Chains A and B, each alone.
Chain A
Amino acid sequence: MKAVAFLPILLIFIAASGATIGTFLILTNQKNLVKVYINIIYNTNEPYREILSTLFLSGVYRTISISDYYEIEEDMKKFIINEIDKTLFKPKCFRIMKEEKILIENPTECKNADYNAKIPIFTPYNKNKNKVEDLYFSYIRSE
């Protein structure tokens, strides 16, 4: 008996609720707007400029270009590390990669770098022929 009596009450209640909600939404038609402000200071193209200016120094481009065939000498690695440390104000770490190969990393395990650049570099491929490969430069700035 109680179940039979409860059912119409429930239906009436649901219908009333639906009518109230629908009327409320139609009448107000308001949207709750939450604004999220994100203020961006765009990066310079510092990583791109840094790797370019380093490549322009004597012997650096050639050394990196032929690194598939000749390992980069320790003195050259020290020179490059020193030059990058100077103009990037001693970054926490940086990494130079050609395609998949890590050429220079200082110190080791420089992952999740927030500054990145990718540039094309000519590398010797066959007799009198070059191919274009990707050179990656990434670093984490010191704060």
Chain B
Amino acid sequence: MKGDITFFTVVEGLLVVGIVAYLVYLTVYARMIVQTIVEEENRERNALNFANALISHEKIVYEKEGVRYRGILNASKLDKLFHKSNDGLRNPEEFKNVILNPLHKSGKLSREQIDLGYSQTVNIIHIIDFDRCNERECVVWSGVILPVNTLNDYTQDHPVYKFFDCLTRSFDGNWLRPTATCAGFAATGGVIGSLGGPIGALIGAGAGCLFGFLSNLFSIAEVQVCMDRSGDIKNLYISETITKRQGLPVNIIYDDGTIHKGRVIVGFIAWL
């Protein structure tokens, strides 16, 4: 009878379903190509490359009988090149006046002082002597490598000068903000926790710091205002190498021959 479900009706139905499924497979999945694109984060990579180059630089490494010892830094050379803080920059005023203030020349480095650096980038360097870092003292050498040939080029007209000058003026010395916003700080404890101040906050900061260094010392609005005032600084990028506690373990050798362990931490601020 018409409308009866026979064996062949079922087979026909199954065939149709199978062919439709096969059609879908051919048109969609069989011709799907998965292309994997691996991209490196160039800007972070640049910071790490910079750190690796820095620990080999003749201006800071230990030399003996004409041999330069990579990763072994000469404390006397560091004294000459960088600003040395015996207090780990715990004092907010010191951090403000040394690192941020463009008028303070100690620790500010041009290409003349050290021929390393990327264009349109400011490198901030901290070298910490962990064997001389405790509750009483914390030896840190700090420097800011500027994208200028000589420090004479670092004038009030320079956009980086304007930017840092603006940040200096809006600085409130409140370490609680970066500390509070960096969730990892409390967890680090021990030596790192005892550092306090900006270094402690920077190093101690873990994944909780989304915007990294400056944006935790300053509000996003403050940074934006200073970018606008600088004129040429657009699309500011602050590397995460500081807040992610990147950088490299090194040795620091003193004139009396004692060798300490330390760490070079390099961060940078880049703009387009």
B residues 112-156 in Cβ contact with A at 8 Å: 130-131
Contact of A142 among B51, B188, B240 (CB under 8 A): B188
Give the bracket for the number of chain A residues in contact with chain B: 35 or more
Chain A residues with CB under 8 A of B203: 89
Contact of B190 among A31, A33, A35, A85 (CB under 8 A): A85
A12 CB, min distance to chain B CBs, angstroms? 12
Tell me whether B184 is interfacial, beta carbon within 8 Å.
yes
Tell me whether A87 is interfacial, beta carbon within 8 Å.
yes
Tell me whether B71 is interfacial, beta carbon within 8 Å.
yes
Binds B, one of A54-62, A64-72, A104-112, A118-126: A54-62
- Number of B residues near A (Cβ < 8 Å) is 55
Contact of B251 among A20, A37, A40, A56 (CB under 8 A): A56
Listed by A's residue number, 23 A-B pairs whose Cβ atoms lie within 8 Å are A3-B8, A6-B8, A10-B15, A13-B19, A20-B23, A31-B33, A35-B37, A36-B34, A38-B36, A39-B40, A40-B39, A41-B45, A42-B40, A44-B52, A46-B248, A46-B249, A53-B249, A53-B250, A56-B259, A86-B130, A86-B191, A88-B249, A142-B188
Interface residues of B (CB under 8 A from A): 6, 8, 11-12, 15-16, 19, 22-23, 26-28, 31-41, 44-45, 48, 51-52, 55, 71-72, 130-131, 184, 187-192, 203, 206-207, 240, 245-251, 259, 261-263
Q: Which 8 A-B pairs have the closest CB atoms?
A: A32-B32, A50-B249, A87-B249, A86-B130, A41-B41, A41-B44, A49-B248, A53-B249
